[in-house]
Chain A
Amino acid sequence: DAMVIQNPRYQVTQFGKPVTLSCSQTLNHNVMYWYQQKSSQAPKLLFHYYDKDFNNEADTPDNFQSRRPNTSFCFLDIRSPGLGDAAMYLCATSRGDGGGSYEQYFGPGTRLTVT
């Protein structure tokens, strides 16, 4: 089945130690998103890629970076994680041409713990 895969599902990192979360998709969608979701809160969009074009949200801290080396993969890099960055990180994809009415397909998420 076509899907969105996130690795690892659980990640523990130390305060200030860089960490990378990965996302891959077999849907061949040209848009990929990264969301941060804290407990009992809405998923908050950090940034998205439309093909190779990177779109950062205005309130996304500089501590968060992303890379998309090809259509299938997208990475979230947290350069110096703080305790406040502990959250679930969701990757999602969608078609960028309006096909499917812009619905998003989500991965299972990576739960990040910062010690």
Chain B
Amino acid sequence: AQSVSQHNHHVILSEAASLELGCNYSYGGTVNLFWYVQYPGQHLQLLLKYFSGDPLVKGIKGFEAEFIKSKFSFNLRKPSVQWSDTAEYFCAVRGYTGGFKTIFGAGTRLFVKA
């Protein structure tokens, strides 16, 4: 069955530390990849997406993600986190399984200490 795995459920970092959140998926075929973010008290919103082309995509607020097809991965990175990056991050993959469907990972809660 298709699945999306986020290996880190909780991450605690100090400000200015570098961030990498892992995301692996098990779809075959062509996929669209997304990272969504949910700040405290707010709704889910798109952080960045990969549709085609350059596998290194840049999103808002200095985030980037790299699609590595051979590893079925789409890891999220930021070189220097800020306190305001405290949020929950969800990886999502859209692929074809008898119809197009987007599956979400379980999320990673990031807490950045000031």
Contact = CB atoms under 8 A, between A and B. Distances in A.
Question: Do the two chains belong together in a single complex?
Answer: yes
Contact of B32 (A41, A101, A105, A106): A101
Interface in B80-114: 90, 94, 99-107
What is the interface of chain A mostly: helix, strand, loop, or mixed? mixed
A107 B49 contact: no
Interface residues of A, number: 20
Contact of A103 (B9, B42, B49, B105): B49
Interface residues of B, number: 23
Max count, chain A CB within 10 A of own CB: residue among B34, B42, B44, B90: B44
A106 B101 CA distance: 16
Interface in B18-51: 32, 34, 36, 42-46, 49, 51
A43 interface: yes
Given A42-B4, A102-B94, A107 B43 contact: yes
A55 B99 contact: yes
A42 B105 contact: yes
Nearest to B106: A42
A106 B44 contact: yes
Given A106-B43, A107-B43, A40 B106 contact: yes
Interface of A: 4, 35, 40-45, 55, 90, 92, 101-109
